[in-house]
Amino acid sequence: MPMYHRAVIHLDTPALGMPQLAALGLETDHGTYDGLSFISDFSEDELDLARKSGFQTNILIHDVSSFYAHQNDGFNYARAKSSSGDRPENFSLGSYGGYYTYEEMLAILDDMAKKYPTLISKRMQIENFTSIRKEPLYWCRISAHPESEQKEKPQILYTALHHAREPGSLSQLIYFMWYLLERYEHDSQIKDIIDHTELYFIPCVNPDGYRFNIASKPQGGGLWRKNMRSINGVLHGVDLNRNYSYGWGSNELGSSGNLQNQTYRGDAPFSEPETQAVKWFTEAHHFGIALNNHTHGNMLLYPWGNYYSGNKPNTRKTPDSLLYYEYAEIFTKYNGYKSGVCYEMLNYYANGDANDWMYGEQKSKNKIISFIPEIGYSFYENISDIEATCARNLYANIEAVRLLLPVAKLLNAKVSLDGEGNLAYEIKRIGLGEGTYTVSLFSVDGKMAQIKGPEVYTNLELMEIAKGNIAFSILPGIRKGDRLKYILVLNNGIYDDTLTGSFWYCDSPEGCPPDIFPVPANKHIKISALQLPEDFHADVAIYDISGRVHTKFELKAADVLSIDVSYLAEGVYFIKGFSEEYGNFIRKVTIAH
């Protein structure tokens, strides 16, 4: 195996940028890119090629494979276990620098099937497909009936290890699988997901390359990327994530025709048995969503990776770009990953990758909303960080399968009190599954009663937003200035989703707390929060009728603020406040000097 270095390649001019680096056949889909430089792990030959092409480089770690292999020397593996309550009881680190050997992966899959035979199938070979070196390519299924396919249920696909040097993609998948299995009996959300969907896993797409890395660097740090394809008796390998047919070989920016390069795409689309197996398996099912897991970069990528058509810029978005934005925002809510297409994230292109094929190929199979999570900060993270990286991606894995269901969300709830009470809201369908949605209003504190509804929605299109209103009455005994709390409940026939809110009860908007006086105002406006709860806090601003902000300030419980308005022209103004806990308020005031 060649010597690898952690290095920074400087991208100083438009003529020496990421597209030009990718055109050399260097792997640019994993690493740290800040617009001016790119940091990743490169072979000596790759760095020589970059230098000869005019790029300036600096080596940060001379022998990065050795660094990976020894970064955990003397580390107590037991101490790497998290104390988090979400940690699956059966999850443990592997012996390959904290990651799993291939044999450990197989043993874990067997252990899962032994412990949870009613939730997960035994590992099975994908038809009769084997790798270059005749290793079976395995898959398994998690569902309420794992022994057989239930075609009426929506399906999701999770893959890992397209690239042999990305063991973290497997570890986080094992973490997620244990989490599902262990939580089924006592977590209603997980039970709903498993009962109503089928989850499919191909945990190692590239077994030959993975085993090669483990054999050559048993402590961790093997940096072979491709499969084990030999050409004319010489090992070169094919980049499996450039070997899919959609956009295959459309240019030299998104893959390489040079068999020595890391992004060598093979001599034909689906030339490799590993990608043939994924193709067959995908076409044999009806996956709605797919997560093709990779490492690293703390990013979430989605189509199009092949951002060029021939050699001409092709800036078109997918027809489902708004859906991709929506899902990416959900998946990255807690892990903080950046999201976008390859060009937006790394200023490079990728043709012939799994993402574009799974989404773009719609003749031999259905359309799949596919993503590539680039997990973690390194090909081989420090052992003390592995479990945290797994946990960091748990929410995205759960939300991905949940979005197969008839999921909708509530937006922009607003209360008005003209005559009878009215709660206006919007409902937006974001799940792939079609369903009937029922929206109901409930009082948290028993101070209001629904007098209209619930509202029922059918035939909502994906990403459609519908408006709704629910009328309510205020129960006797409620005083002016009381704060009323409500829950808006959306049921999709499987589970409930909720939106909570509150509002002030008063005869008119001008009469709601906080108190504002005098009216009309002269040189000062006084705002009193004396009567408000102890934890009240609001951000307040004074606007003119054109919407221009003139001053901003904070208002807290027990405050009596005197705001100087002597510099404002006479006229009508609005005082608007926003409180996350207590809702918003708006007052119209007149200033007369």
Task: Note whether residue 395 is domain-resident.
Answer: yes
Backbone φ and ψ for 107, nearest 5 degrees, come out as: -65, -35
Structural domain contains residue 301: yes
Q: Are residues 294 and 167 in the same domain?
A: yes
Three-state DSSP state, 590? strand
- CATH number, domain with residue 543: 2.60.40.1930
Asked which of 479, 504, 529 is the last residue of a domain, the reply is 504
Alpha-carbon distance of 558 to 529, in angstroms, equals 5
Report yes or no: 229 and 8 within 8 Å, Cβ to Cβ: no
Query: Nearest 5°: CA angle at 246, between 241 and 250?
Result: 90
In a domain, 228, yes or no: no
* Those residues with Cβ within 8 angstroms of residue 481's Cβ, 6 or more apart along the chain or in another chain: 504, 505, 506, 512, 513, 531
User: What phi-psi label fits residue 574: left (phi over 0), alpha (psi between -120 and 50 degrees) or beta?
Assistant: beta
Other residues' Cβ atoms within 10 Å of the Cβ of residue 268: 11
* Final residue before a domain boundary, out of 382, 402, 422: 402
From the number of C-beta atoms within 10 Å of its C-beta (0-12, 13-18, 19+), residue 185 rates as exposed
Nearest C-alpha neighbor of 293 from the set 225, 363, 355: 355
Cβ contact 294:373 at 8 Å: yes
285 and 349 inside one domain = yes
One domain for residues 102 and 175: yes
Please indicate, yes or no, if residue 31 is contained in any of the structural domains: no
Question: Is residue 2 domain-resident?
Answer: no
3-state SS track over 332-376: CCCCCCEEECHHHHHCCCCCCCHHHHHHHCCCCCCCCEEEEEECC
- For residues 400 and 331, the answer to whether their CB atoms sit within 8 Å is yes
Please tell me whether residues 375 and 522 are part of one structural domain: no
Q: 155 and 269 in one domain? A: yes
Q: What's this model's pTM, rounded to 2 decimal places?
A: 0.84
C-alpha span between 136 and 120 (Å, rounded): 19
Q: How far apart are CA 129 and CA 551, in angstroms?
A: 69
368 and 494 part of one domain: no
Position 466 in a domain: yes
Question: Does the CA dihedral 266-270-273-278 come out positive or negative?
Answer: positive
Q: Please tell me whether residues 414 and 323 are part of one structural domain.
A: no
pLDDT of 311 = 46
Q: Answer whether residue 453 is part of any domain.
A: yes
User: Is the same domain home to 187 and 328?
Assistant: yes
Number of independent structural domains in the chain: 3
| C-beta separation of 60 from 7 below 8 A | yes
| Shared domain check, 349 and 459 | no
Does one domain contain both 113 and 143? yes
Note whether 418 and 486 are same-domain residues.
Answer: yes
Per-residue pLDDT of the chain (593 residues; tens, 9 = 90+): 678 999 999 998 888 888 888 888 887 877 888 888 999 999 988 999 999 999 999 999 999 999 998 888 876 655 555 545 679 999 999 999 999 999 999 999 999 999 999 999 999 999 999 999 999 999 999 999 999 999 999 999 999 999 999 999 999 999 999 999 999 999 999 999 999 999 999 999 999 999 999 999 999 999 999 999 999 999 999 999 999 999 898 888 789 999 989 999 999 999 999 999 999 999 999 999 999 999 999 999 999 988 654 445 455 689 999 999 999 999 999 999 999 988 788 777 889 999 999 999 999 999 999 999 999 999 999 999 999 999 999 999 999 999 999 999 999 888 887 767 889 999 999 999 999 999 999 999 888 888 887 999 999 999 999 999 999 988 888 876 677 889 999 999 998 999 988 877 765 544 566 778 887 888 899 998 876 777 788 899 999 999 999 999 999 988 999 999 999 999 999 999 887 766 678 888 999 88
Cα–Cα distance measured from residue 85 to residue 396, given in angstroms and rounded to the nearest whole number: 18
Residue where a domain terminates, one of 504, 532, 566: 504
> Is residue 235, in this structure, part of any structural domain at all?
no
Instruction: Quote the domain boundaries for residue 534.
Output: 509-591
The domain that holds 156 is classified in CATH as 3.40.630.10
315 and 174 share one domain? yes
SS3 track for 58-78: EEEECCHHHHHHHCCCCCCHH
Residue 276, burial from CB neighbour count under 10 angstroms (0-12, 13-18, 19+): middle
